[in-house]
Every structure is written in structure tokens, then in C-alpha cells.
Structure 1
Amino acid sequence: MSMLEVKDLQVYYGVIQALKGISFHVEQGEVIALIGANGAGKTTTLQTLTGIIPAKAGSIIYEGKNLTKTPAHKIVEMGMAHVPEGRRVFADMSVYENLLMGAYTRKDKNEIAQSLEMVYKRFPRLKERTGQRAGTLSGGEQQMLAMGRALMSKPKIILMDEPSMGLSPIFVNEIFDIIKEVSESGTTVLLVEQNAKKALSIADRAYVLETGSITLEGKADDLLHDESVQKAYLGE
């Protein structure tokens, strides 16, 4: 049984169909990349998986349970965390307060403190800025904060939406190194990313999404060298 299995997922915005019956699966421990152009439905997919947008039809099976009508906060409690597009940090709250918000579904204070130390170890820059307002951080630091906040929920699977968006090349490399570390520590990763080359370079498998439909899937390395993928998404 797959950790996450999406079957015939359909999502509408009014009369416009954003997802046209997509199906894919994620195995425990994998890094799965979901690539495609703007407007392909990548963000909609993640928001539907985490209960932010309702599905019109289809099913989302996570660890054998159907999540299709499960509220977003319950999905977090079940071990699925979401790093949203654009970071969405709480600008007027401190780094520390933002991180604690990520643990709002957890009760054990000792375990929360351990998770906080783990996040600070993985993101030393956040520890240095623990009392600083999140809105005053750089884009790369805010991305680290969004990732750290998601890790505070102690997720089994983390969904990342465009983590490299708007970042300098140095920060992009740093963020992708951290994604690899998160994966190697045992957390499954579903990665939506416009930087297809970077995404495919760290993923195990990948799916190509075009106007609400999955048009291609396979091992990430195979797609990295696929001529149609290179022309469409790798600028080659």
C-alpha cells in the first residue's frame, strides 16, 4: 500500500475544471517532484491534498485512510504538513512564535522543545534571529522559516510548493540541500517546483502536470533526460 494514493482527483473553481481526474502515488521515504508550467494545477493539487480546497470527485488515500472530506487541521494531526507558495509566514510575529504555530496540534511540551532544537540545528540562521519579526527576514530566511514551521508539526510527509521562488541562486542551492536532508532523515517529500532541473535532480520519481492533467511520469533521472521535458521545462 502506498503512503499516499490519489485517484481520479477532480477540482473545480466555479465552472472551470482545474484538475481533470489526476492519479498518482507517493511511497514512504520518496522525494516526488510535480513539475509543470504556471496554471498547470500544481498548487491546486497540494491545497486539495491538505484540505484547503475541496475535491469535486476522486479520492485521496493517506496511510489507508480516505482524506477527501477531512478538515485541514486534522490532516496536519495525521502527519501531513504543507509549506505554501510564497512562504506565508506571520509577518508581525517573531521567528520563535512562527515556529510554535507549526506545533499547534501537538500537546507534549518536551517533544515540542526537542523539535524546536532540531529546527534550530537544521536552520542556524533562524536561531540567530529567534526574536526577530518574521516580516523583516530576507526571502530565503522566510523560506527557511516556512519549512521549519512545517517540520514543527512532526510530519511524516511534507508538501512543498515552489520553495525556490524568488530566491537568489545561493539560497536556492541551500534550500535544496535542506530538502535532501529532510528526506534523508526519513520524511517523505512531495515537491512542486518551477525549477524543474533542480527538482528532478533530487527526486526519485516525477509527474508532469499540464492544464490539470498528468501527461508524463517516470523516474526523475529519465525525465531529466527526456527530450520533450528538456524542451518544455529545462530550457534546452
Structure 2
Amino acid sequence: MLNIENIDVNYGAIRALVQVSLEVNEGEIVALIGANGAGKSTTLRSISGLVKPQSGKIIFEGQEIQNFPPHKVVEIGISQVPEGRRVFPLMTVLENLELGAFTRKDRAGIKEDINNIFLRFPRLEERKQQPAGTLSGGEQQMLAIGRALMSKPKLLLMDEPSMGLAPMLVQEIFNIVKEINQTGTTILLVEQNARMALSIAHRAYVLETGSLVMSGLAKELAENEAVQKAYLGH
């Protein structure tokens, strides 16, 4: 479904990604783990068109997309839940969800999908007329996920969905990620909480200072001594 081939991303003189290659197959949850500043978010931003790679290819469903603008990336079926949630604080919950469907014209379908989001996140329905900035961190994360789902993505990019959340909510968010995947959406997950990410992913990649150093089945990586030592607190 998604193939990244040898991409390089530089921020000025800083090499953020060096010859990164990875693939995501339809139906999978693939985790990308690594320390802060390893290049995980940059990888997602380059897929979603927010950052342009200096070289290499990003291929989605057979089409090269590394030069697509962000709105075009959404139109072909990729959407992102950004790091830090980034909801529009002064707009209501409902308006945030409607904005997630900005590439769609099917009014009845949009309405139906908003109702489905409310079924999945009842707390959002209770607060649908509230400004998004008044929600708790966990509720804002649910809204960010709901907003990303409104474009009906085939591939959902999730950047640090558990960041800044209480432990009890972290479990809830990961259950939601699994459920979204089980209903047919492929997921590329960037996550600081490596233990949780590896517990729900099918496969995983490990990034270190812009380079991929390891990849494999998530279960195998979770049992790998070097991974345990570096990321799982063993």
C-alpha cells in the first residue's frame, strides 16, 4: 500500500532522515519507534506532504506522491492525527469534525460519518457544541482522531497519540487504535510509548538519528534485548 524508498530529508544543514525505506501493507498496524529527535514525525510529515524529501520516493497504491501538496495527499486517502492533537480551539467539536471532511462533497455521507464518530466517542457528542479548546487532553485526542477519520482515509498516520495523557487514557486510546484498524483502516503509528505500540502493532521499525536500524515483527522486536534496553526500560 505504502512504500518509502530511500528518502532523505534535510532541515538546512541538519540531516533529519537518511536513506529511510519502509513499507506498510494494507490492513496492518505498523509502528515506528525511536528516541526523541530520531526523525519519526519527519517521516510522517514527509508522507503527508508537509515536508518535501530531498531525494527518494514515496509511493502510495502505485502512485508517486512525494511532490503532492498536503490537500492532495488527503484526497487520495491518507490522513494524519498530528502530534499534540492540534484541534482548532475556538471552533466547536462539530465544526472540527466537519473540517475533517473538507475534501468531500457527499453531505449525507458526512452526516452519517459524524454520527459514527459520536457512536465511537460518546463524550464528543455530549460536547459537540463546545469549543474544542475547552475539552480535556483525552477528549481532544479523540477529536483529533475523529477529525482525521472524517476524510475516510485508507491509511491513517498517527503521531504520538498517547502523548501527555494519563495512563488510564493511554490504554483507552490504544484500544481505539486497534478498533479502527479492525474496521479496515491501515495505520502507521509513531509512538514514544514503545511498549504499548509494539503490543498492538503487526510490524515495527526502529529509527535512530534519522536512520532505520532495525525492523521486524512487533512481537520479535518487543523481545529483542537491544530494543528492550533502549526503549522498554529493561
Interval containing the TM-score (normalised by the shorter chain): over 0.9
Runs of 4+ in 1 over 2 A off after TM superposition: none
1:177 matched to 2:182: no
SS in 2 for 1:96: helix
Cα deviation, 1:132-170, whole Å, max 9, x if unaligned, reads 110010000000000000000000010000000000011
Q: Which amino acid aligns with 1:198?
A: M
1:99 matched to 2:94: no
CA distance in 1, matches of 2:115, 2:55: 41
- 1:227 paired residue number: 225
TM-score normalised by structure 2 residue count: 0.99
Q: Which amino acid aligns with 2:44?
A: L
- 1:46 paired residue number: 44
- 2:131 paired residue number: 133
Choose the corresponding residue for 1:73, options 68, 71, 74: 71
Q: Which amino acid aligns with 1:199?
A: A
SS in 1 for 2:90: coil
Choose the corresponding residue for 2:157, options 156, 159, 163: 159
Deviation at 1:114, TM superposition (A): 1.1
Deviation at 1:109, TM superposition (A): 0.1
- 2:185 paired residue number: 187
Q: Which amino acid aligns with 1:176?
A: F
Q: Which amino acid aligns with 2:97?
A: L
| Matched-pair identity in % | 59
Q: Which amino acid aligns with 1:115?
A: D
Choose the corresponding residue for 1:87, options 85, 91, 108: 85
Kindly report which structure 2 residues correspond to 1:9-28, keeping only aligned pairs within 5 A, or say none. Answer: 9-28=7-26
Deviation at 1:78, TM superposition (A): 0.5
Q: How many aligned residue pairs are there?
A: 234
Higher alpha-carbon deviation: 114-123 or 181-190: 114-123
SS in 2 for 1:19: strand
1:201 matched to 2:222: no
- 2:108 paired residue number: 110
SS in 2 for 1:40: coil
Deviation at 1:106, TM superposition (A): 0.3
Cα deviation, 1:78-98, whole Å, max 9, x if unaligned, reads 010000000000000000000
CA distance in 2, matches of 1:35, 1:47: 15
SS in 1 for 2:162: coil
Q: Which amino acid aligns with 1:32?
A: V
Deviation at 1:187, TM superposition (A): 0.1
The unaligned stretches of length 5 or more in structure 2 are none
Q: Which amino acid aligns with 2:106?
A: D
RMSD: 0.4
Cα deviation, 1:17-47, whole Å, max 9, x if unaligned, reads 1000100000000000000000000000000
Choose the corresponding residue for 2:28, options 27, 30, 42: 30
The unaligned stretches of length 5 or more in structure 1 are none
TM-score normalised by structure 1 residue count: 0.99
CA distance in 1, matches of 2:182, 2:119: 15
Q: Which amino acid aligns with 1:108?
A: D
